[in-house]
Amino acid sequence: MRKSKKLRFVLWFVLVGILIGIASVYYVFNMPRRDLSKETALFHLQASQLISDFKSDENAATTKYLDKAIAVTGEVKNIRTLDNHSMVFSLEDAMEGVSCTVDSAETVRFGAKLAGLKMGTRASFKGRCTGMLMDVQVINCVPE
């Protein structure tokens, strides 16, 4: 009697363990994408500062900012909509500034706010920094 009780306890224990295991594998496998609107920016900075950080020491800046949530502020110098309906706002400089890409879903979610951002106005975006090509790229942006 006692033995079977013990066995039952062990079996339950194993079963719960397996279920937790399956659930966590399932969760990791279907890990949700980062939602930048829910993340706190690790750095708040001016577009000019971000550009000069990358231009003065790209390696150090890559280590510091890559894949981090950052909030960047600057004057809008170029706005374009790509054929996948995402929008790109160039801050500080149209060619060698900070490119903030807002994904198509976010352009709908923040439509009213984005419509207010015109060339020459100051704008803030929070996004994930992916590094520098000609300009410093910040993607998955949400307006701040």
Partner 1 sequence: MKKILMIILVGLFGTALKAQNIYFTKDAKINFNSSTPLEDIVAETNQGTTFIDLSKNEVKFSVLTTSFKFRRALMEEHFNENYMESSKNKEFAKAKFSGTITTPVDWKSDKTVNAEVRGDFTMHGVTKQITAQAKITPGKAGIAATAEFHIVPQDYNIAIPAAVSDKIAKEVTIKVEANYAPYQH
From residue 86 to residue 115, what is the string marking binding to partner 1 with x (rule CB under 8 A)? Answer: x-x------x---x-x--------------
Task: Compute the distance between CA of residue 86 and CA of residue 68 in angstroms, rounded to an integer.
Answer: 21
CB of residue 102 to partner 1, shortest distance in Å: 12
Asked if 71 contacts 44 with a C-beta cutoff of 8 angstroms, the reply is: yes
Q: What's the helix, strand, coil split of the chain in %, to 5?
A: 40, 30, 25
3-state secondary structure of 1: coil
- Closest distance between partner 1 and the C-beta of residue 5, in Å? 40
Q: Residues interacting with partner 1, by CB under 8 A?
A: 28-34, 58-59, 62-63, 66-67, 80, 82, 84, 86, 88, 95, 99, 101, 128, 130-135, 137, 139
